[in-house]
Amino acid sequence: MKWRLALISEHASPLALVGGVDAGGQNIAVAELAYHLAKLGYGVDVFTRWDDANLPETVEWKPGVRVVHVQAGPTTFVPKEELLCYMDEFTENAIRFIDRQTDPYKLIHAHFFMSGLVAANIKRSLGIPFVVTFHALGEVRKQIQGSCDQFPPERFTIEQRVICEADALVALCHQDREDLVNLYEADRAKIFTIANGFNPDEFYPIDKPLARIVLGLDPAEPVILQLGRMVPRKGVDNVVRALGHLRRAYGMVARLLIVGGESDLPDPDLTPEIGRLQELAKEEGVEQWVTFTGRRQRETLRYYYSAADVFVTTPWYEPFGITPLEAMACGTPVVGSAVGGIKQTVLDGETGFLVPANDPQALAAKLAALLYSKKLRLVMSEEAIQHVQDNYTWFEIAHQTANLYELVLSGQLTPAKMQRRTMLPSAIQRDVSAIITPK
């Protein structure tokens, strides 16, 4: 083993079922990062809140990865917006656990602002350096969601403190990096842009007719897929409206599959967003073309992506967005909002199209083009697979992240040197090897 590393992800456990309101990309990112870092030889413990009394304190999750459940508040689900008051308890219990270990942690990688707070307090007590990925920034959320944002206002001061005290900040995309600088005056020299990824063992193209047979879908119908957490900011209403527009303005119909929700069957009581979208589909006159599936397990997702002619993701904003990568890995072109990570991962006109957020008519125009032209879909499909294979496997992302850790631990991140290292991930590797390779 190289050395022991702690990831802290207070609300997003690798063990959770994703697809509901509070479990999604962060759970996947932490899980995949932990798994791939362990494959690179690191001993990885993921600290997360103990939210299920049936689980033991530690779970040997994968070779080299343990999930450590930290007592903080009730041992049941608590929405993330209500967790801040338990973070002192989280910190105390995490420190107790750390003190019991014979092999100390050399570094902490915190995920989300509350874990950043815990890591900053552990650093003050035990001197362990830390890196933070915010996944979503309070100031951005406030701008977009306004009064719908339920997090306590202390979030902003905590984020400022974490930004100052962290040894390095991971931005998920260029937009995230600019937000850290412009909204928080973060030191550019401390920010490293490292994306999220996809797992090629999980996401690869399946023959479309076969995927449709497996899912019981009509072999001839055009299929548009929307897959993700069912929350208003994901802008799924844009897709339903676009479907109405597609019919009225272009005389085209297509099946819209909507995957995600709190349960495996679409239940508007458990997932209010489904109810809202069902109403909207009726207003648009497309209810017979919209199919809600509910949440789906990861091993079936490649069938959904492969069965679709086009994948759509039109959130109001998106700190990164893993689903477009998964879709492209399965060879499905993506139409996405030109926001956050999506505007970086989807190559406009090459692997899909970018449209303004909240613009169903622009979305319908791109859907019409893609549904009309099989040739366009095939060209984009090939480009998409190549693009994500070249740039976004978790293997590559874990390498970049490990290089950042080694850079932090090398003690050579002095401000002057850091200034030269404000760069894109591929450059990190070259720089780090220059520093840490023995002469």
Residues that bind ligand UDP (CB under 6 A): 18-19, 24-26, 28, 227-229, 259-260, 295-296, 298, 301, 320-323, 326
Q: Which is nearer to ligand UDP, 116 or 260 (CB)?
A: 260
SS3 labels along 298-365:
HHHHHHHHHHCCEEEECCCCCCCCCHHHHHHHCCCCEEEECCCCHHHHCCECCCEEEECCCCHHHHHH
12 token code pair: 């997003």
Q: Which is nearer to ligand UDP, 189 or 272 (CB)?
A: 272
Q: Which is nearer to ligand UDP, 120 or 236 (CB)?
A: 236
As a whole number of angstroms, the distance between CA 267 and CA 270 comes to 5
As a whole number of angstroms, the distance between CA 358 and CA 45 comes to 40
Least distance CB 251 / ligand UDP (angstroms): 31
As a whole number of angstroms, the distance between CA 414 and CA 428 comes to 15
Q: How many CA atoms lie within 13 A of 94 on its CB side?
A: 33
Q: What is the DSSP letter of 17?
A: P
Least distance CB 294 / ligand UDP (angstroms): 7
Q: Which is nearer to ligand UDP, 260 or 333 (CB)?
A: 260
Structural contact between residues 22 and 125, judged by C-beta atoms closer than 8 angstroms: no
Least distance CB 241 / ligand UDP (angstroms): 21
Residue 368 has φ and ψ, to the nearest 5°, of: -60, -45
**Side chain identity at residue 324, one-letter code:** P
Length of the chain (residues): 439
Least distance CB 101 / ligand UDP (angstroms): 31
Residue 437 has φ and ψ, to the nearest 5°, of: -75, 125
Least distance CB 324 / ligand UDP (angstroms): 7
Q: Which is nearer to ligand UDP, 97 or 203 (CB)?
A: 203
Least distance CB 320 / ligand UDP (angstroms): 6
As a whole number of angstroms, the distance between CA 150 and CA 141 comes to 10
Strands 105-111 and 191-193: unpaired
As a whole number of angstroms, the distance between CA 142 and CA 162 comes to 18
Q: Which is nearer to ligand UDP, 43 or 260 (CB)?
A: 260
Least distance CB 359 / ligand UDP (angstroms): 20
Q: Which is nearer to ligand UDP, 129 or 321 (CB)?
A: 321
**288: Cβ contacts below 8 Å, ≥ 6 apart:** none
Q: Which is nearer to ligand UDP, 202 or 359 (CB)?
A: 202
**Side chain identity at residue 43, one-letter code:** G
Least distance CB 313 / ligand UDP (angstroms): 7
Structural contact between residues 365 and 237, judged by C-beta atoms closer than 8 angstroms: no
